[in-house]
Amino acid sequence: MAIQNTENYTEDEIRLGRIAKALGHPARIAILRHLASINTCCFSEISEELPIAASTVSQHLSELKDAGLIQGSIESPKVKYCINIDNWNLAKKLFGEFLNMRIEKSTTISMKN
């Protein structure tokens, strides 16, 4: 689901939300782990690593690419993928800032039905 009205959010909040959404599936995490362990690889190599249909791998690659976490270059007849280092570093910065934000008060709330 796309954010319909972004005027009340900072650019960093929008970007972090997009990256978090892209990281919201275990197959995408597996794809990123695989790409991090090598320099570049083509679609067929990624598809062979995952126990899912090639069409599903393609959808996950598209989501990661839309979020800017990976990039692809066409080297006929194949598309080679790799992690977009600049955006990866931006994601690390944004998540670090978010997860290290100061929490004013910590309380435990009992959730009883």
Rounded distance, CA 33 to CA 41, Å? 12
Asked if pLDDT for residue 76 goes beyond 80, the answer is no
Asked if pLDDT for residue 2 goes beyond 70, the answer is no
Domain 11-96 is found in CATH 1.10.10.10: yes
Angle ∠(67,38,52) on CA atoms, nearest 5: 60
* pTM, 2 dp: 0.82
pLDDT of residue 1: 47
Mean pLDDT, the chain, as a whole number?
90
Our CA dihedral for 96, 18, 78, 43, rounded to 10 degrees, sits at 80
Sign of torsion over alpha carbons 95, 35, 38, 80: negative
**Tokens coding 2:** 């796309």
Asked if pLDDT for residue 60 goes beyond 70, the answer is yes
Domain extents in the chain? 11-96
